Amino acid sequence: MAIALIPGLGGASQAQGPAITDFYLENGLHVVVIPDHRAPVVTHMIWYKVGGADEPKGKSGIAHFLEHLMFKGTEKNPGGFSKQVAELGGQENAFTSLDYTAYFQRVAKEHLGAMMAFEADRMTGLALTDEVVNPERNVVLEERKMRVDNDPGSQLAEEIASTLFTHHPYGTPIIGWEDEIEGLTRQDAIDFHARFYTPNNASLIVAGDITAEGVRTLAEATYGQVARRAEPPPRLRPQEPPQRADRRVRLADKRVEQPIYQRHWRAPSYIRARNGEGEVLDLLSQILGGGQTSRLHRSLVVDKKVASAAGAFYGGSAVDETRFGVWGIPMPGVSFETLEAAIDEEIARIVGEGVTDDELERAKTRLVADAIYAQDNQSTLARYYGTMLSVGGKVEDLQLWPQRIAAVAAERLPEVGRLVLTNGKSVVGLLEGQA
């Protein structure tokens, strides 16, 4: 399931949280420093503002494919640096989303400079040959087979996405379509790297036992030596036309042991919201389906016993429109139609009658508490900042988020709910077993 972004810290909690600072290098690299002196370790993350939704038409999967290839070595480090990171006792990985690609390491603080030097090197010095590229393409194809073709839940997720976003690239899977992955070439990877992997299209997030001055010195000596080599184009993706009818996708597979019902609506992301709808939708998803005190759980699981589990979600971190959704797992013998009617009843009640003051206060407390607890994990906090900056937000957006949550009035929830959770604008996904 998609998970709502619960961004950073601010307001009353700011005094207890880290003194977060940010600055820019001359080449345009945005640097964020999150001090955490409890242990002599650091989390080093470089985020590029490019993901699956930024790919050239017909080249789906190139962002994810390039992520794989980034570990294959540079002219200076032909064997890659995974082995060196491991020898230093560190951990590393990377991930690609629709809107960004990120690379990270967690190491002892004395090795931070080495991590910066490694990442700065592969920002420009990536060395690719057909002998490297072709086998890795087969690895990605096998990954798609294992994660999608052999997983009915993932197959349904692809169908829901491509049905909800018929025109916008959010309907294309991050890993890519199989036939297009097969056609990806070494030159495709080189061109994509040259176009988007430039310091003025990236954010450096460093969290841990460091100071802003120390990070600046190291960053200028490494990343600061990388010249701008492209001006990434504005992220103007084809937008989704208005939806005029509900859509349904149904997948039956003998491997499915537990059926599931999902319903998704397009919704404004935090970046696209104009009147605080992002905060409202976060609160709405919490009250409607955020845990065992939520309305869907109490009604469907506890009272009516038509579901073994139920919930709601809002994925607020996106460059363009995002999703709001509900889901439920029917009890044995309960039809999808019965479960759907019960879910629709709760949605109609919340958008028709609104929420109570107690419900709203509990939801606000829970969301802000989660943000405060994030201070205990430097990697989680670094991801919050990297995510928001990569989709077009600012450091201040995260720091002021608790105040904006606290300011949401109860009447906003049914108002925004009526705008988003409307009939004729959703996609229902049904996953069931097959005899």
Q: Which of 67, 277, 346, 359 is catalytic?
A: 67
With CA atoms as reference, report the closest residue to 43 among 285, 331, 355, 385. 385
Q: Which residue(s) pair with 108 in the sheet?
A: 41
**Closest to 14 (Cα-Cα) out of 361, 360, 371:** 371
Compute how many other C-beta atoms are within 10 angstroms of the C-beta atom of residue 429: 24
261 closest CA partner among 432, 109, 401: 432
For residue 67, indicate whether it is catalytic: yes
In one letter, which amino acid is 202?
Answer: A
Catalytic residue positions, numbered: 67
